[in-house]
Structure 1
Amino acid sequence: MTSSRPYHHGNLRQAVLDEAATVVRDRGAAELSLREVAATIGVTHAAPRRYFPGRQELLDALAAEGFARLGNRLRDAVDVSPDYPTQVQAVATAYLDFATSEANLVELMFANKHGAYGEAVSRSAEVAFAPMLDMFQRARFEGLLADRSPERLSLIFLATLQGLAGLINCGVIPPSQLGELIDEAVQQFPHRV
């Protein structure tokens, strides 16, 4: 059990999400139980079903919330500077910081097991990655990418970052190499073509 405070007449949906997020962060999505979440926040085992008919719907809501949090970090990173190389560095750092500090959540976000709430998760992902795409679109408009497709660059950049995060999270690459790897990854994306 976690040390969360019991729920007291407020936003039950958010209390369930908060406790579920703690379980996923600490133990992984496979360990999530609606019954345990209900017991921890001090409500009947049926109460969370008012908002989440089943475990998968709760997992989908957590994934959507994770994408929203990631999107906020990416948006803040792009807003750091109007300078494209600085933005690329900031976005890479923000993504990898999130993906390595929230490894279990990111695994859930990319699990592709989203049921009835799948469209909401997909929309959340699209919104989350919009700042990254916008960054490449602006760079192309400014003549920094020539004929390179911003959509493809955004996808390749995401795949590069997610690949690095996965290798760090599974222990293949030590976390101490993160800064160096971010610098190397950023150099793979053109500053002027």
Structure 2
Amino acid sequence: MSHTAPRRHFTDRQALLDALAEAGFVQLGRALRTSLAEAEDAFAARVHNAVLAFARFATENVALLDLMNSGKHRPGATRIAEAAEAAFGQMVELIEEGQEHGALEHGDPERLGAIPYATVQGIATMVNGNMIDAEKLDELVETAVERFLRGARPRTR
């Protein structure tokens, strides 16, 4: 492929970056879907698999994830936002499933889902920055998911 080939397909640099970000969310969505399909039926296993899939994506696609996150909130980036919503919508549905079955407290599923997302994003950032050994990723995700599930259980009176 020649170095001018992208110019024939994209109107400008931003259009190319947007296409990459959108493709990244499609790839992430596929990884989440696969992880959920391969999980046991148990809710905790499904959460663990999905969160681990995100963590691995975040540590294996560092620059792409940065591009995805920076692009999805940019005015006019509707295709990126839609791709992000499709990918993360699976996590929202998983949170809603947990709420329906009494495994998680009721409330805004996006707000509740932000907790494991932020936690794992932080773990991934630390792995990517060599502050935490990459070999500890799976173990840390497992601990994060256990703590989230324990802390987000409905309160008993």
Q: TM-score, normalised by structure 2?
A: 0.86
Deviation at 1:147, TM superposition (A): 2.5
Deviation at 1:73, TM superposition (A): 0.8
C-alpha separation in 2, matches of 1:143 and 1:114: 33
Map of 2:139 onto structure 1: 180
Map of 1:96 onto structure 2: 55
Map of 2:16 onto structure 1: 58
Stretches of structure 1 that go unaligned for 5 or more consecutive residues are 1-5, 7-37, 40-44
**Root-mean-square deviation (Å):** 2.0
Map of 1:11 onto structure 2: none
Equivalent residue for 1:70, pick from 9, 21, 28: 28
Q: 8 Å contact 1:64–1:120 — kept in the other structure?
A: yes
C-alpha separation in 2, matches of 1:57 and 1:76: 29
Q: 8 Å contact 2:21–2:71 — kept in the other structure?
A: no
- 2:42 maps to 1:83: yes
Map of 2:118 onto structure 1: 159
The one-character-per-residue Cα deviations of 1:110-161 (angstroms, maximum 9, x if unpaired) are 1248767611111110101011111110110111113243221212221111
C-alpha separation in 1, matches of 2:76 and 2:56: 27
Instruction: Name the structure where helix makes up a greater proportion of residues.
Output: 2
- 2:80 maps to 1:121: yes
Greater RCO (Cα-Cα under 8 Å, separation 6 or more): 2
Amino acid at match of 2:134: P
Q: 8 Å contact 2:72–2:80 — kept in the other structure?
A: no
Amino acid at match of 1:54: D
Q: 8 Å contact 1:60–1:114 — kept in the other structure?
A: no
Amino acid at match of 1:66: G
Deviation at 1:82, TM superposition (A): 2.4
SS at match of 1:188: helix
C-alpha separation in 1, matches of 2:34 and 2:120: 17
Q: TM-score, normalised by structure 1?
A: 0.71
Q: 8 Å contact 1:57–1:117 — kept in the other structure?
A: no
Shift in alpha-carbon separation, 1:132–1:126, aligned structure 2, 3 A: same
How many residue pairs align between the two structures? 151
- 2:116 maps to 1:142: no
